[in-house]
Amino acid sequence: MGLISISFIFSLSMLVMLSSTTYSQPQSPKVIQSTTYLSKEFEVGHGEVADKKMYNIEFPMGHVGIKSIYVDLVDEHGNSVPLHETYIHHWYILKYIIKKNMSVSQDPNDHTKPSGDLIYKRNDGTCNKGILPHQWSSGSETRGTSTKLPYSFAVEIGNHADITEGWEEQWLLGLLVIDTRGAENKKICIQCRCDQFNLPANFYDVTVGFHGKVTHEYKAGVLCCQDKFQCKMIKGFQAPRRNLAIRYNITWVNWDQHQIPVRFYVLDVTDRVTNNGSETIHDCQAEFTILKNNSTNLFHVQKASIPMKKGGYLIYASGHTHTGVINATLYGQDGRTLCTSTPKYGTGTEAGNEEGYLVGMSVCYPKLGSMKIDDGETVTVESIYKNEFLPEVMGDMHFYLADELPHKA
Ligand SMILES: *[C@@H]1O[C@H](CO)[C@@H](O)[C@H](O)[C@H]1NC(C)=O
Ligand SMILES: *[C@@H]1O[C@H](CO)[C@@H](O)[C@H](O)[C@H]1NC(C)=O
Ligand SMILES: *[C@@H]1O[C@H](CO)[C@@H](O)[C@H](O)[C@H]1NC(C)=O
Ligand SMILES: *[C@@H]1O[C@H](CO)[C@@H](O)[C@H](O)[C@H]1NC(C)=O
Ligand SMILES: *[C@@H]1O[C@H](CO)[C@@H](O)[C@H](O)[C@H]1NC(C)=O
Ligand SMILES: *[C@@H]1O[C@H](CO)[C@@H](O)[C@H](O)[C@H]1NC(C)=O
C-alpha cells in the first residue's frame, strides 16, 4: 500500500461475475455466499507502472456482512502473474457514497476528476486526510495473507440506516502495479526509487503530494511510481504489452441478528501524534526510508504510540509491510503484545512463492475475549526491518475490533 490519492482520477469499472457458489460453514448455521469477480482490464508495457482507479466495482449487494476478500492479479488467460513479472505494489478497496443518478466514467484510464456529490468513507484508523483510508488493502503479500473473519464477525455494509436518502454506497478499487519485465534492477525499481524511473524533466517543479510540493530530498515513493512511468530498462529488451486484471473473490453472509459488526483500523508507524490543546492531531507519511545504519545493530525499529478513542475486543490483526521486514507488532499501553505478524518470503518462481519477495504476512486470531483494547488506551505499532538501505517501506497494522462477543448457543 502506498498513499492513496483520493478523487483525482475518475473511472468506473464494469466487472464480470465469473462464478457464484453457496455453501454452509460447518460450525455455523449461516449460509456463506462466495462470488469471484474480474475487474476491467488494463494494459501494461514492459517496465511500466500502472496506477489505476476503478469506481463502482462489482460488489455484494444489499445489507450483508463481508467475511473475506481474496485479491489476485491475472493475465488475459486468467493465470496469476508472478511478482517478478508484474509486482503488486498495492491494491485497496475504499467505500464512498454517491448521489443516485450521478454518472461516472467507467474507464480505468479516464483521469478526469469527479464532479462532486461523492463522499469517501474512511476506516476507523487514525491517519489524516486521504492517507490510508481504505477498508481492505494489501501488497505483494496479498496471495499469502488471510483476510478471513471468524464466525460470527463480519464487516457490515449496505445498511440503509447508515446511508443518506438519495445516495448509495459504492466501492472503489485502486491499484499500483509495476511491470518489471526487462527492468535493469527489478528489486530496486519496485521500491519506487526515483532514480530508477524516467521522471519528467519538470518532476520536482510540478509534483505535489499529501505533504505539499516534493523537494529534491524526495528519493523514493509512490510519487515516483505514477501511471505510465517507466523503470530503467535493459538495452534492447523487447516484450509485448499485455492486458491484466484484478480477480477478487468475496465471501459474505446476509446480515441478521447473529452477525457481530467489526470496526477496521489501520495504524501506521509513521503517525506523528501531537495535541493542540483540545484535539489529538495525526500526521502519517505512510512510506518511509531506511538508511543503512553503520552501527553494529542489525535491525531498524520504527514505531508510533497512538491513542485509541474507542477500544474493543481484538478479533483479527495483521501487518502490512514491504520486503525486508522482520516482524510487525501491536502492543497495548502496558506493553502486552496484542499481535506480532511475521513475513513469509518466497523461495520459488511461481505466483505466490516468488523468491526473495514478501509473499505473505501472518494473521493473529486471538482466542475470543482474550485481547481487549480499552477506550482511551494508547497502543504502540512497531515494525522491525533489516538494517539495509530500503528506500520505500511501510509499517501498518490492520486490525478489527468488536464491541461484543458471540453469545454461547
Ligand atoms: C433517477 O432517475 C430516474 C429516471 O430518470 C428518476 O425516476 C429518479 O427519480 C431519479 N432519482 C433521483 C434520486 O434523482
Ligand atoms: C478465491 O480464489 C482463489 C484463487 O483465485 C482460490 O484459491 C480460493 O479458493 C478462492 N476462494 C473462494 C472462497 O472462492
Ligand atoms: C485544534 O485542531 C482542531 C482541528 O484542526 C481545530 O478545529 C481546533 O480549533 C484546534 N484547537 C486549538 C486550540 O488550536
Ligand atoms: C543507528 O543505530 C544506533 C543504535 O541503535 C542509534 O542510536 C542511531 O540513532 C542510529 N542512527 C541512525 C542514523 O538511524
Ligand atoms: C554508512 O557508511 C557508508 C560507507 O562509509 C556511507 O556511504 C553511508 O553514507 C553511511 N550511512 C550512514 C547512514 O551514515
Ligand atoms: C521481532 O524481531 C526482532 C528481531 O529479530 C526480535 O528481537 C523480536 O523478539 C521480534 N518480536 C517479536 C514480538 O517476536
Alpha helices in 211-253 (DSSP H): none
pLDDT tens-digit readout, 153-178: 999 999 999 898 999 999 999 999 99
Q: Is the peptide bond before 152 cis (omega within 30 degrees of 0)?
A: yes
The mean per-residue pLDDT over the stretch 235-248 comes to 96
Q: How far apart are CA 177 and CA 4, in angstroms?
A: 14
pLDDT band at 373 (very low <50, low <70, confident <90, very high): very high
**CA nearest ligand 2 atom 5, residue:** 72
Residues 105 and 53 reside in one and the same domain:
yes
> Based on the number of CB atoms within 10 Å of its own CB, is 267 exposed (0-12), middle (13-18) or buried (19 or more)?
buried
Residues 73 and 153 reside in one and the same domain:
yes
pLDDT band at 380 (very low <50, low <70, confident <90, very high): very high
CB of 337 sitting under 6 A from ligand 6: yes
Distance, CA 301 to ligand 5 centroid (Å)? 18
Domain stops at, among 254, 275, 310: 254
- Residues with Cβ within 8 Å of 326's Cβ and at least 6 positions away in sequence, in order, are 299, 342, 343, 384, 385, 386
pLDDT tens-digit readout, 89-104: 999 999 999 998 887 7
Which ligand is nearest to the Cα of residue 380, counting in written order?
6
Atom of ligand 1 nearest to the CA of 166: 13
**CA nearest ligand 4 atom 9, residue:** 293
CB of 384 sitting under 6 A from ligand 6: yes
Secondary-structure percent of the chain, ordered helix, strand, coil, rounded to 5: 5, 45, 50
- Residue 347's identity, in one-letter code, is T
Q: Does 62 score more than 70 pLDDT?
A: yes
Q: How far apart are CA 326 and CA 191, in angstroms?
A: 17
Predicted local distance difference test score (pLDDT) of residue 24: 42
Mean pLDDT is lowest, of 36-40, 139-143, 153-157, 293-297, for 293-297
Concatenating the DSSP letter of every residue in 144-206 gives G---PPPTTEEEEE--GGGS-TTEEEEEEEEEEEEE-TTBS-HHHHTTTBGGGB---TTHHHH
- Whether 119 is covered by a domain: the verdict is yes
Predicted local distance difference test score (pLDDT) of residue 66: 98
Residues 232 and 286 reside in one and the same domain:
no
Distance, CA 70 to ligand 2 centroid (Å)? 7
pLDDT tens-digit readout, 331-365: 999 999 999 999 999 999 999 999 999 999 999 99
Greater pLDDT, 18 or 260: 260
With 0.85 as the threshold, say if the pTM is over it: yes
The mean per-residue pLDDT over the stretch 237-247 comes to 97
Residues 86 and 221 reside in one and the same domain:
yes
Q: Does 407 score more than 50 pLDDT?
A: yes
**CA nearest ligand 1 atom 9, residue:** 101
Residues 79 and 190 reside in one and the same domain:
yes
Give yes or no for a contact between 1 and 221, defined as CB atoms under 8 angstroms apart: no
Which residues' Cβ are closer than 6 Å to ligand 5? 291-294
The total of structural domains in the chain comes to: 2
The string over 351-376, giving b where at least 16 C-beta atoms fall within 10 Å of a residue's C-beta and e elsewhere, is bbbbeebbbbbbbbeeeeeebbbeee
- Whether 93 is covered by a domain: the verdict is yes
Of 302, 315, 305, the C-alpha closest to 261 is: 315
CATH number, residue 395:
2.60.120.230
**CA nearest ligand 6 atom 13, residue:** 340
Which ligand is nearest to the Cα of residue 248, counting in written order?
2
Which residues' Cβ are closer than 6 Å to ligand 2? 34, 70, 72, 247, 249, 251
Predicted local distance difference test score (pLDDT) of residue 16: 33
Predicted local distance difference test score (pLDDT) of residue 3: 41
Give yes or no for a contact between 31 and 24, defined as CB atoms under 8 angstroms apart: yes
Q: How far apart are CA 26 and CA 29, in angstroms?
A: 7
What is the domain extent for residue 378?
263-402
What is the three-class DSSP state of 356? coil
- Residues with Cβ within 8 Å of 133's Cβ and at least 6 positions away in sequence, in order, are 4, 6, 94, 120, 121, 122, 123, 127
Give yes or no for a contact between 252 and 155, defined as CB atoms under 8 angstroms apart: no
